[in-house]
Every structure is written in C-alpha cells, then in structure tokens.
Structure 1
C-alpha cells in the first residue's frame, strides 16, 4: 500500500489524520493519504 504524506514548504510531513483510498472494483485499500488539520494549514500559510 502506498502512503502519501503532506507536502508543506518544500518538505514531506506526516499527519495524525489519514484517509484510506479504496479500489472500488475490489474493495482493497490501495493507499493512505495524510489529511491536513488546522495546525498543518496554518503552518503552510506562514
């Protein structure tokens, strides 16, 4: 399974909030994507 971190200010950053991406044809989880929260968003803006 692939894992996709956040990319903020030229660096990859892990997040505690993640979402699984599911292949609709077989229900298999094919990736995990980090989801930005308010703290991550503020960090990206500053």
Structure 2
C-alpha cells in the first residue's frame, strides 16, 4: 500500500482536483487558505508556556 492510499477520501479528492482541474488562480487561493489553516492548527497544538 502506498502513502496515498492512507489519506482520507476528502484529501484524495482535493489532491486529484489540484492535479487535474485547478487553475493557477484556484491553486494560489487554495495555497493561502491551506497555509493559514495549517499554521493555526500548529499554534493550537504547541505546548502553552506557563507564566510563573
């Protein structure tokens, strides 16, 4: 089984769309949205510093 098979169905659909259909403008917008979302999630997962 390759790595692609382990992805969720929605991610597989997004990747296929990007590879087959998306225009340059759509790719740029997706890149901005995904980057913002990923960065926000990373911040949520970082351990919070305790102020003493």
Instruction: Tell me the TM-score normalized by structure 2.
Output: 0.23
Structure number with higher relative contact order (C-alpha < 8 Å, ≥ 6 residues apart): 1
Greater share of helix: 2
Instruction: Tell me the TM-score normalized by structure 1.
Output: 0.26
Larger Rg: 2
Greater share of strand: 1
